[in-house]
């Protein structure tokens, strides 16, 4: 490939090759950093293209509004001599795996100017330019969090296990335990408060903004649970929840309805800031999946318990904490059995959800599994159960039971999408965008998900996997207080759909068990 020159600023000239990634070039010369690994989600490699040919903006750049001269270097390929300008004043980079979503307007929840005591929802809080805020996504399986400045600069990001597995792996099991045993309820409350307080104390944060599904958020703020256990399934309140966690002020995002909690609200708020046309679908995949269809001034929403199969609920399942296979592809057939290549981190001791979707999609395409989910060829038998090996030497396999469990999880999501689109009067072909949110979606192959019918089959160019959107949504709330102060107005625009009460739901759910495109 031919050599070209890249002029950085007015003086520095770098030698590059046509087809080289601009972000990689700049990072090699210590002119930028790629804390998200060049995935285009952290926004810390912004550059201005002054002159010269480059590739068009990727779908991730378009989603974030980088469609003019301002581009993300990691998403830009050099096509000729260039003149670029580095973006000044970017915050010190931290390792990020979460999309940076900027609000369309700035009206901060707290002021970073001058410090001193400020009042927030009737509570006094001492803040200043060095203040730190803790953003918490209180998930069923995992607690993800960010430490940010009042201006929204991300200073730290991490996650920990939600310490409630002994009370059940899903919110329904935990809700039942808490309602039948006060000691269990008190223990759940204590554990959640302790882990969040410890994170807050370790990072010296002054304020906690928290969101979770309705059950998890109700646990954390010690709200009445009875309304979530019986029809019409209502959380104790739809208003912003405020409480003290030790000496720290905690604010909970408003819960929408039923099991659509503050996390769903944060997802929705984040999606409003993206450069995406309506109507669009937003699907936050996880143990409890939230689905939104946004059209014009209307928002349709539902939630469905898709179970632990997406995360840990299979024979050789694993989590991001334990490590495991996160990407897999069938490369051929040997002795009438499938052959796979895969990527893993830490150790290949288990299979992560995104890899499982790719494995099943390839097995489906290869005829090893039929559309009804039956393993039909290439299998071995273990304790009377059919299994298909991914790597026999490492005891990595999927069983017939695993396939059935993932079928049920897919059917829960697929039937929810079908009914939501029916109620909104929006066809698949009319969709202008599809957002796959949730940590499950970070390594999800969109085509594989479409093959199984987990998500609608749309043009690849309008489907984006954003990863966690709850934390970006909370960051938007921090920077634009109107999303908390006027949450009632937003909630009034949301039409919630209760799937089990919709006409034909069970027939649609059963039909959705088929591993066919949606």
Please tell me which residue, 42 or 498, carries the higher pLDDT value.
Answer: 498
Q: Can you give the pLDDT at residue 88?
A: 56
322 domain-assigned: no
CATH code at position 242: 3.30.420.480
How sure is the predictor about 172, in pLDDT bands with cuts at 50, 70 and 90? Answer: confident
Query: Which is nearest to 206 in space by CA: 267, 115, 143, 144?
Result: 115
- Over range 458-485, report the average pLDDT: 90
Tokens of 19: 């087809």
Q: What is the pLDDT of residues 9-27, one digit of tens each?
A: 877 788 888 999 998 888 7
- Residue finishing a domain among 30, 63, 86: 86
Q: Tell me: pLDDT of 470 over 70.
A: yes
- Over range 343-362, report the average pLDDT: 84
- Over range 322-328, report the average pLDDT: 78
Q: Can you give the pLDDT at residue 2?
A: 79
User: In this structure, what are the phi and psi dihedrals at residue 355, rounded to the nearest 5 degrees?
Assistant: -65, -35
147 domain-assigned: yes
37 domain-assigned: yes
Q: Tell me: pLDDT of 449 over 90.
A: yes
Q: Can you give the pLDDT at residue 137?
A: 95
Same domain, 254 and 127: yes
**CB-based contact 231:243 (threshold 8 Å):** no
How sure is the predictor about 322, in pLDDT bands with cuts at 50, 70 and 90? Answer: low
Query: Which is nearest to 272 in space by CA: 484, 102, 100?
Result: 102
Same domain, 237 and 191: yes
How sure is the predictor about 323, in pLDDT bands with cuts at 50, 70 and 90? Answer: low
The structure tokens 């969109």 sit at 446
Cβ neighbourhood burial of 257 (10 Å; 0-12, 13-18, 19+): buried
Distance, in Å, from the CA atom of 515 to the CA atom of 406, rounded to the nearest integer, reads 10
- Over range 91-107, report the average pLDDT: 66
Same domain, 133 and 214: yes
Same domain, 121 and 80: no
Same domain, 67 and 27: yes
Q: What is the pLDDT of residues 474-504, one digit of tens each?
A: 999 999 989 998 898 989 989 999 888 899 9
- Structural domain that includes position 73: 3-86
**CB-based contact 417:291 (threshold 8 Å):** yes
Share of the chain above pLDDT 90, in %: 47
Domain count, the chain: 2
Same domain, 121 and 82: no
- Over range 145-166, report the average pLDDT: 87
The pairing of strands 12-17 and 3-8 is: antiparallel
- Residue finishing a domain among 220, 238, 263: 263
- Residue finishing a domain among 237, 263, 289: 263
Q: Can you give the pLDDT at residue 477?
A: 94
User: In this structure, what are the phi and psi dihedrals at residue 449, rounded to the nearest 5 degrees?
Assistant: -65, -35
Same domain, 129 and 250: yes
Query: Maximum distance among all alpha carbons in the chain?
Result: 72
Query: Which is nearest to 101 in space by CA: 397, 437, 339, 415?
Result: 437
Distances in Å between the alpha carbon of 312 and those of 40, 307, 316?
28, 9, 8
DSSP state, residue 261: -
How sure is the predictor about 55, in pLDDT bands with cuts at 50, 70 and 90? Answer: very high
- Over range 243-259, report the average pLDDT: 93
Please tell me which residue, 55 or 324, carries the higher pLDDT value.
Answer: 55
Distance, in Å, from the CA atom of 427 to the CA atom of 424, rounded to the nearest integer, reads 9
How sure is the predictor about 171, in pLDDT bands with cuts at 50, 70 and 90? Answer: confident
User: In this structure, what are the phi and psi dihedrals at residue 177, rounded to the nearest 5 degrees?
Assistant: -60, -45
């Amino acid at each position: 490939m031919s050599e070209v020159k890249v002029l950085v600023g007015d003086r520095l000239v770098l030698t590059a090759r046509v087809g080289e990634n601009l972000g990689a070039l700049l990072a090699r010369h210590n002119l930028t950093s790629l804390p998200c690994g060049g995935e285009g989600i952290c926004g810390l490699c912004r550059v201005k293209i002054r002159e010269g040919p480059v590739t068009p903006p990727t779908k991730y750049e378009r989603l974030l509004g980088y469609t003019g001269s301002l581009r993300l270097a990691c998403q830009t390929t050099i096509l000729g001599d260039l003149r670029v300008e580095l973006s000044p004043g970017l915050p010190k980079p931290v390792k990020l795996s979460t999309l940076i979503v900027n609000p369309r307007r700035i009206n901060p929840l707290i002021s970073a100017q001058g410090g001193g005591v400020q009042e927030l929802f009737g509570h006094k809080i001492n803040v200043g330019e060095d203040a730190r805020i803790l953003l918490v996504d209180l998930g069923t399986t995992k607690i993800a969090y960010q430490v940010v400045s009042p201006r929204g600069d991300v200073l730290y990001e991490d996650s920990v296990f939600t310490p409630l597995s002994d009370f059940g792996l899903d919110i329904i099991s935990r809700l039942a335990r808490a309602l039948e045993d006060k000691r269990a309820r008190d223990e759940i409350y204590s554990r959640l408060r302790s882990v969040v307080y410890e994170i807050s104390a370790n990072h010296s944060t002054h304020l906690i903004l928290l969101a979770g599904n309705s059950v998890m958020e109700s646990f954390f703020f010690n709200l009445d649970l009875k309304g979530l256990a019986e029809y019409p399934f209502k959380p104790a309140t739809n208003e912003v929840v405020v409480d003290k966690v030790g000496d720290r002020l905690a604010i909970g995002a408003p819960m929408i309805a039923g099991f659509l909690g503050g996390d769903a609200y944060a997802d929705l708020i984040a999606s409003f800031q993206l450069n995406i046309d309506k109507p669009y679908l937003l699907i936050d995949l996880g143990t409890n999946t939230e689905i939104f269809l946004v059209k014009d001034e209307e928002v349709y929403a539902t939630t469905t318990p898709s179970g632990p199969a997406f995360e840990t609920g299979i024979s050789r399942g694993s989590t991001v904490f334990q490590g495991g296979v996160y990407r897999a592809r069938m490369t051929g057939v040997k002795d009438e059995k499938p052959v796979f290549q895969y990527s893993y981190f830490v150790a290949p001791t288990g299979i992560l959800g995104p890899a499982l979707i790719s494995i099943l999609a390839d097995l489906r395409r290869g005829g090893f599994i039929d559309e009804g989910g039956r393993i039909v060829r290439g299998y071995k038998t273990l304790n009377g159960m059919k299994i298909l090996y991914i790597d026999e030497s490492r005891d990595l396999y999927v069983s017939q039971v695993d396939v059935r469990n993932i079928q049920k999880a897919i059917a829960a999501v697929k039937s929810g999408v079908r009914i939501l689109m029916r109620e909104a009067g929006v066809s698949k072909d009319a969709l202008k965008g599809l957002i796959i949110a949730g940590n499950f979606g970070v390594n999800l192959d969109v085509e594989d998900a479409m093959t199984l019918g987990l998500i609608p089959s749309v043009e690849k160019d309008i489907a984006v996997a954003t990863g966690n959107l709850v934390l970006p949504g909370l960051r938007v709330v921090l920077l634009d207080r109107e999303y908390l102060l006027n949450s009632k107005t937003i909630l009034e625009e949301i039409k919630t759909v209760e799937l089990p009460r919709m006409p034909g739901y069970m027939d649609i759910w059963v039909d959705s068990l088929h591993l066919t495109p949606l």
